Amino acid sequence: MDVCTSLRACAATGRPSHVSHVHRHGDHEEVCDIELQPVEDARGDLPEAEYEQDGIVTAAGMERLRVFLTEVPAATGKAWDGSLPLAPARLAELVALLHRGRISGEAAKRVDPERLEWIDVGGGRAESGEAEFGRRLAELHDTDAPCFGRTDGRTTGSLALPNDPSDSWVEFYAERRLRPLARLAGDRAALAPASIAALERIAARLDALGGPPQPPARLHGDLWAGNRIVDRSGRSWLIDPAAHGGHREFDLAMMRLFGGFGAEAFAAYDDEFPLADGWEQRVPLHQLAPLIVHAIKFGGGYVDTAAAAIRRYR
């Protein structure tokens, strides 16, 4: 059985009193209603000094959090705080982040449920909403990032792709994406040696392939349709970013990789923040990295798709 992939609000407006807990078994869904209750202090009777030290949750505090976020809901059928409707996988991520020191106990306590906005999901795509999304994305990209990559060097995704700051897109895409992916694909036998060798040659030719130089833009970094929520008013909300400074054409290429974004979004983007000539011809170049990631992680048809994308640039 897959982990729960979503929580669906049963109430149309306001804070819900119940949610539907959705488990997926292949193509089959099992839906269970869960009553929501206000969040209590996870620390309970554990002394604060034992729960948290220097702003980081201790091992004892982590165990208390684990029970609070997983065992209590499982035993009582009551989920953690109706104003913070997180799927169990997301709760597990929060616990993992606390455990690794990525989020301090103080930061976790600043997640104020009263200030989180409930997104009333259920709207369909409309031309006006697509155009507004394109304009808003252009505004984001027009806010320059401090570098290609991340100033903190934090890695991206389960493959831990490096994000050390780079001075140029050519350096970033070659040394932080294509070459690390070539090594991973070789180590895991995810791509044929000929494809890996061709990928190395592409990395060496990015100056000629990448179009006019661009300043680093603030990217979402994983902008496929599954990471966009459209509410009942038609407004778009983005989730699960892999944020870093990069080439703005990368987000647009991700939008085209699996579809789900209207032509109005791309047209409005170009009107707001005009793209360089030939950007559509460079879409496959920017799609190389995510396709290879999918080939490494999932295999199957992604292997052939990634190999075909690499062959375009032989």
Residue 23 phi, psi (nearest 5): -105, 140
**Cα angle vertex 145, ends 144, 151, to 5°?**
165
Give me the catalytic one of 45, 144, 164, 222.
222
Lookup: tokens for 18: 């119940």
DSSP conformational letter for 279 = G
Q: How far apart are CA 23 and CA 34, in angstroms?
A: 13
Lookup: tokens for 301: 């048809």
Active site residue 222: yes
Residue pair 274/300 in contact by the 8 Å Cβ criterion: no
Place of tokens 């939008």: 255
Q: Which residues pair with 246 in a beta bridge?
A: 217
SS3 of 6, please?
Answer: strand
Lookup: tokens for 196: 């890996």
Q: How many beta carbons lie within 10 A of that of residue 249, not counting itself?
A: 24
* Amino acid letter, residue 12: A
Q: How far apart are CA 21 and CA 138, in angstroms?
A: 36
Catalytic amino acids? 222
